[in-house]
Chains A and B, each alone.
Chain A
Amino acid sequence: MDTDQLIRSLAADNSHRAPRVGAMLTMALLVAAPFSILIFASFLGVRPDVMTAMHNPFFDTKFAVTLSLAIPAIIISLHLSRPEALMRGWAWLLLLPVGLLAVAIGSEAMMAPAMPMSMRLVGRNSRACLMAIPAMSLPLLAGALFGLRHGAPSRPALAGALAGLLSAGLAATLYASHCTDDSPLFVATWYTIATAVVTAIGAAVGSRVLRY
């Protein structure tokens, strides 16, 4: 086929309008969320003492940390779905949860310790945390990758990693309401490891499925 002929067929298809990537990502995440919530409701559930826990600033901090990961990751993944987009100028957004955690760890260190540091670090739920966050992330990750496939990222592995971060951030938000370990040390250790696993999966799958 010669190029003029191809151009003619493309021009004839100009009336076709595709939704924006943001709309696709939102839709895909809304379809995926019930699956993650089902895992949460079947195996975990909200912790029984949630009403008292809400008065503990370190319990609330967990949500600030996980959402300050999920929301910037969503914003950056949409930015990267444009082919000419650069990571430069955007990466600092991902330092938000890191900074929050550092402040929280610092304030906890200044308080009279309720438990020895080793207990706060290891907690009671480290293994559950390592299983639950990735498990609840997977449906969201699949949704995020499906939505982002609609974009045109120049670096598919990086875009996939962001999909991993955003789904881990959302899954960790659910998990935080179940877990009774509120120490920022626990969050900084186990949530981070779980997030890293999901991010690596996202990058590996993204490098294949996000090519356009």
Chain B
Amino acid sequence: MRGREDEWTGLMRSAMAGDDAAYHRLLKAVTPVLRAAARRGLARAGQPPDQAEDIVQEILLAVHLKRHTWDSEAPFAPWLFAIARNKLIDALRRRGRRIFVDIDDFAETLPGEMPEETASAAEVATQLNTLPQRQRDVLQSIAVESASIKDTAAKFAMSEGAVRVALHRGLAALTAKLRDH
């Protein structure tokens, strides 16, 4: 468990230093842990586990947009679990349940109970359709069609800088919509 968390901290440091591949690896590595904890939280609130993926995606978006609040001298896991816990509580509250979520729900997830498969979620997809055309196009191209920033720029006759701006604004708008809807 300790080794896993040290590895995350190392990956996050590389990510903040500009290593996109390390960032990708980190997000992939934390997702099963978040998913297991989200399922457990839903189960405890008497909710069906099929909404877990919506919560996981909301946590990932928050992690992404708030990563400048992580202190690179501090371990990554407590920061991650604090965001995850907040988002899980928010999500359960929106579904009409007040529940105490323990931070240990995240920290103590064992490898055996972590579903590895990627899963689809409805909420992000729904909100995606409400974004301005350009942001939606860029997000679709990069996320769904796994095109690079460069290819996306060529496809829509945009500059790479404009693609980056649209991508970031799209992700920020998605997060705001998920929070407020």
Interface residues of A (CB under 8 A from B): 1-21, 81-84, 150-152, 154, 211-212
In the assembly, what is the distance between CA of A48 and CA of B41, in Å?
Answer: 63
B108 interface residue (CB < 8 Å to A):
no
Establish whether residues B142 and A8, one from each chain, have CB atoms under 8 Å apart when the complex forms: yes
Choose among B28, B62, B68 the residue that contacts A17 (Cβ–Cβ < 8 A): B68
Establish whether residues A15 and B62, one from each chain, have CB atoms under 8 Å apart when the complex forms: no
The smallest beta-carbon distance between B19 and chain A, in angstroms, is 8
Establish whether residues B171 and A82, one from each chain, have CB atoms under 8 Å apart when the complex forms: no
In the assembly, what is the distance between CA of A84 and CA of B69, in Å?
Answer: 10
Q: Cβ of A8: which chain B residues have Cβ within 8 Å of it?
A: 24, 142-143, 146
Q: Cβ of A20: which chain B residues have Cβ within 8 Å of it?
A: 68
Q: Cβ of A18: which chain B residues have Cβ within 8 Å of it?
A: 65, 67-68
Q: Cβ of A82: which chain B residues have Cβ within 8 Å of it?
A: 69-71, 79
Could you pull out 7 A-B pairs where Cβ atoms are within 8 angstroms? A2-B119, A2-B120, A3-B120, A9-B139, A81-B69, A84-B79, A212-B66
Establish whether residues B124 and A1, one from each chain, have CB atoms under 8 Å apart when the complex forms: yes
Establish whether residues B66 and A152, one from each chain, have CB atoms under 8 Å apart when the complex forms: yes
In the assembly, what is the distance between CA of A137 and CA of B118, in Å?
Answer: 49
Given the interface pairs A2-B118, A7-B31, A84-B82, the reply to whether A15 lies near B146 with Cβ below 8 Å is: no
Given the interface pairs A1-B143, A152-B66, the reply to whether A11 lies near B24 with Cβ below 8 Å is: yes
Establish whether residues A15 and B69, one from each chain, have CB atoms under 8 Å apart when the complex forms: no
Given the interface pairs A9-B167, A10-B27, the reply to whether A3 lies near B121 with Cβ below 8 Å is: yes
Establish whether residues A3 and B118, one from each chain, have CB atoms under 8 Å apart when the complex forms: yes
The smallest beta-carbon distance between B171 and chain A, in angstroms, is 6
Q: Cβ of B65: which chain A residues have Cβ within 8 Å of it?
A: 18, 212
Q: Cβ of B179: which chain A residues have Cβ within 8 Å of it?
A: 211-212
Interface residues of B (CB under 8 A from A): 15, 18, 20-21, 23-24, 27-28, 31, 53, 56-57, 60-62, 64-71, 74, 78-79, 81-83, 85-86, 90, 118-121, 124-125, 128, 139, 142-144, 146, 148-149, 164, 167-168, 171, 179
Choose among A1, A2, A13, A19 the residue that contacts B167 (Cβ–Cβ < 8 A): A13
In the assembly, what is the distance between CA of A190 and CA of B62, in Å?
Answer: 41
Establish whether residues A83 and B66, one from each chain, have CB atoms under 8 Å apart when the complex forms: yes
Q: CB-nearest residue of chain B relative to A85?
A: B82
Q: CB-nearest residue of chain A relative to B19?
A: A14
Q: Cβ of B15: which chain A residues have Cβ within 8 Å of it?
A: 14
Establish whether residues B139 and A7, one from each chain, have CB atoms under 8 Å apart when the complex forms: no
The smallest beta-carbon distance between A26 and chain B, in angstroms, is 15
In the assembly, what is the distance between CA of A1 and CA of B171, in Å?
Answer: 13
In the assembly, what is the distance between CA of A3 and CA of B67, in Å?
Answer: 19
Q: Cβ of B60: which chain A residues have Cβ within 8 Å of it?
A: 3, 6-7, 10
Given A3-B31, A7-B27: 13 more A-B contacts, CB < 8 Å: A1-B124, A5-B143, A7-B24, A8-B143, A10-B60, A18-B68, A21-B68, A83-B82, A84-B81, A152-B66, A152-B86, A212-B65, A212-B66
In the assembly, what is the distance between CA of A151 and CA of B24, in Å?
Answer: 23
Q: Cβ of A1: which chain B residues have Cβ within 8 Å of it?
A: 57, 120-121, 124-125, 128, 143-144
The smallest beta-carbon distance between A205 and chain B, in angstroms, is 16
In the assembly, what is the distance between CA of A125 and CA of B176, in Å?
Answer: 45
Establish whether residues A154 and B82, one from each chain, have CB atoms under 8 Å apart when the complex forms: yes
In the assembly, what is the distance between CA of A19 and CA of B68, in Å?
Answer: 7
Establish whether residues B142 and A9, one from each chain, have CB atoms under 8 Å apart when the complex forms: yes
Q: CB-nearest residue of chain A relative to B66?
A: A152
Identify the interface centre among A3, A4, A11, A20: most chain B CB within 10 Å of its CB: A3
The smallest beta-carbon distance between B20 and chain A, in angstroms, is 5
Establish whether residues B144 and A5, one from each chain, have CB atoms under 8 Å apart when the complex forms: yes
